[in-house]
């Protein structure tokens, strides 16, 4: 069930730059070299200062950028925030919220592709029960994905566990970007709960994967990223 979208294989890996300082993030990008070309820049760097200067730096190097700030506010505020991302060379941005919020983002997205958050991969069935969601995870993800499509979003953030249902129900109409990628069984200290490995994510229908700690915490991050790239190349070689 691999994605039929024409996406260069080496762009399908998005490396999460969840680091405390911009200087560290720049050094890490240099360490990875050509083993990665697409980066997710999230909240940790946002609060450290110099966020958009760093985004501009990545774009100036020819990197693709995923702004992962999960905009969640009244629709007009989200619309204005998304509008502020236009014409900066940003590829993806995340939005979280109800239909009006998603529609506001979709209305003013310009050249930025909007990804709607479905269910965070750090949540499991028990967490959803605590939050008051009575339906199962797959039904909730599908419902949110359908609404995202209606709102004008370009894709969704979804666990690889729900990717098969998304592709079965929605086909190629929405991009599926899958975080929570783990090469081995989770350790007890890991906050990601609904995970898959690289090959399974793409077999299930993911278009892109987001990988952070398995690369950053590897003894040789560049080799770890390249190993993932090799797996992706093999998945799409046929």
d(CA 216, CA 29): 10
Contact 198, 226 (CB under 8 A): no
Max CA separation in the chain (angstroms): 46
CA distance 3 to 209: 12
Q: Among candidates 1, 6, 4, 32, which has minimal Cα distance to 19?
A: 32
Catalytic residue among 40, 64, 70, 109: 70
b/e burial code for range 89-118 (CB count within 10 A of at least 16 → b): bbbbbbbbbeeebbbbbbbbbeebbbbbbb
Two structure tokens written together for 192? 């990601």
Q: What value, to the nearest 5°, has the Cα angle with vertex 36 and ends 35 and 37?
A: 135
SS3 of residue 210 by DSSP: strand
Please check whether residue 123 is in contact with residue 76, taking contact to mean a CB–CB distance below 8 angstroms.
no
Quick check: is 5 catalytic?
Answer: no
Q: How far apart are CA 70 and CA 78, in angstroms?
A: 10
Known catalytic residues are 70
């Amino acid at each position: 069930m691999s994605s039929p979208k024409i996406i260069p294989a080496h762009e399908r890996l998005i490396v999460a730059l969840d680091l405390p300082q911009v200087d560290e993030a720049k050094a890490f990008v240099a360490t990875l070299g050509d083993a990665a070309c697409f980066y997710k820049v999230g909240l940790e760097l946002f609060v450290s200062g110099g966020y958009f200067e760093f985004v501009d730096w990545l774009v100036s190097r020819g990197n693709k950028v995923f702004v992962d700030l999960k905009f969640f506010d009244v629709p007009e505020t989200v619309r204005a925030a998304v509008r502020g991302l236009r014409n900066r060379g940003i590829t993806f941005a995340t939005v979280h919220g109800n239909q009006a919020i998603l529609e506001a983002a979709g209305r003013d997205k310009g050249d930025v592709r909007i990804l709607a958050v479905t269910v965070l991969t750090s949540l499991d069935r028990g967490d959803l029960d605590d939050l008051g969601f009575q339906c199962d995870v797959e039904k909730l993800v599908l419902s949110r994905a359908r609404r995202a499509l209606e709102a004008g979003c370009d894709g969704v953030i979804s666990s690889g566990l729900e990717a098969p249902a998304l592709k079965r129900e929605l086909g190629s109409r929405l991009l599926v970007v899958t975080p929570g990628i783990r090469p081995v069984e989770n350790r007890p200290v890991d906050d990601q709960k609904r995970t898959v490995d690289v090959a399974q994510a793409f077999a299930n229908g993911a278009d892109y994967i987001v990988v952070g700690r398995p690369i950053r915490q590897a003894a040789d991050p560049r080799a770890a990223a390249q190993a993932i790239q090799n797996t992706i190349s093999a998945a799409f070689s046929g």
